[in-house]
């Protein structure tokens, strides 16, 4: 995704899961898109991760696009070893 601005604020809508607890958050806001991308890839569980959406201004990205941003050479944060 050329010219993606990792420094802008962004939010993550977590995907739906079959066993979601009532207290599980559905939306989380981040100061930077880089933090939102990192959270979506490194912290969300598999089923929740696949259904998540990153929203930044009018831009909405699905899980596949989020992973592409995370794996990009331009990603500014340190990645967790898998």
- Residue 49 is classified by DSSP as H
Taking 90 as the threshold, does the pLDDT of residue 35 lie above it?
yes
Distance CA(56)–CA(18), nearest Å, equals: 27
Q: Give the residue-averaged pLDDT of 48-71.
A: 94
Q: 52: which 2 tokens?
A: 């998540």
- Using CB atoms within 10 Å of the CB of residue 67, give its burial: 0 to 12 exposed, 13 to 18 middle, 19+ buried: middle
What distance in Å separates the CA atoms of residue 81 and residue 42, rounded to the nearest whole number? 10
Q: Let me know: does 37 contact 66? Beta carbons within 8 Å.
A: yes
pLDDT at 5: 96
Residue 49 has pLDDT above 90, yes or no: no
Taking the model in full, what pTM does it have? 0.85
Closest-CA residue to 30 (of 51, 61, 56, 50): 56
Across the chain, mean pLDDT equals 88
pLDDT of residue 6: 98
What average pLDDT does range 33-55 have in this prediction?
92
């Amino acid at each position: 995704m050329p010219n993606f601005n990792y420094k802008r604020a962004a939010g993550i809508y977590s995907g739906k899961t079959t066993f979601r607890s009532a207290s599980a958050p559905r939306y989380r806001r981040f100061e930077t898109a880089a933090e939102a991308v990192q959270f979506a890839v490194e912290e969300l569980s598999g089923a929740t991760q696949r259904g998540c959406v990153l929203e930044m201004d009018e831009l909405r990205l699905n899980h596949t696009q989020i992973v592409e941003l995370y794996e990009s050479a331009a990603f500014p944060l340190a990645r967790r070893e898998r």
